[in-house]
Amino acid sequence: MSRTRPSSRLERAARTRRAIVVATAEAVAERGVRGMRVEDVAARAGVSTSLLYYHFDDRLTLLRAALDHANAQAPSGLLRVPHAGTTEFEAVRNALLRELDTVPQIRNNSIVWNEISATAVFEPELREDLRRVTAEWNGWVAEAIAAGVAEGSIRAGLDPADTAELLTSVVEGLSLRWLAGSLELERARVLCRDAIDAILSPA
């Protein structure tokens, strides 16, 4: 009788966890945090509820994992990899503008982020997670800004950390207004681009 290798079990467990996380993010994107049901997530992921709870302790743990997933998939994460042929200014502008997009994956990420941010107002247990992923986002942008200042494509004298915090706050606010229907997407993108240019451009 053949036995399943430990590596195979680990790979299968990793696939199951990922399927559950993706299903959670999709459920939040479609129905919001309040409309997300653990049973629906399990069905969407193709697992039993008991198996879901084997991997994730509770609903809060699922939300944390969905937030990490949205952060990992965010367009701004592209700032972590080399972007040959593009100035740091262009890289920052392109990455932040891509956060405002109707591509399903990007739009869903934005919904998950905004939904969990709003939920953290009433569920303090999520705040540390939100601070952590926001700090990661700010860090990606800040590093690119610092590199842009060094190469001359971004205005000298800027504090990279403060400037990154400002720009990600602009993107987050515009994203919320777009998703809530109080601002058209193209208008949001124009405002975002103008803010980036005004703050970062050395001209």
Q: Which domains, and CATH codes, for the chain?
A: 60-200 (1.10.357.10)
For a pLDDT cut of 90, what percent of the chain falls above it? Answer: 91
Q: What does the pLDDT look like over 140-168, one tens digit per residue?
A: 999 999 999 999 999 999 999 999 999 99
For the chain, the farthest-separated pair of C-alpha atoms sits apart, in whole angstroms, at: 72
Q: What is the pLDDT of residue 4?
A: 56
Mean pLDDT of the chain: 94
Distance, in Å, from the CA atom of 165 to the CA atom of 81, rounded to the nearest integer, reads 20
Residue 48 pLDDT grade (very low, low, confident, very high; cuts 50, 70, 90) = very high
Q: In this model, does residue 1 exceed pLDDT 50?
A: no
Q: What does the pLDDT look like over 70-102, one tens digit per residue?
A: 999 999 999 998 888 899 999 999 999 999 999
For a pLDDT cut of 70, what percent of the chain falls above it? Answer: 97
Burial of 78 (0-12, 13-18, 19+ CB in 10 A): middle
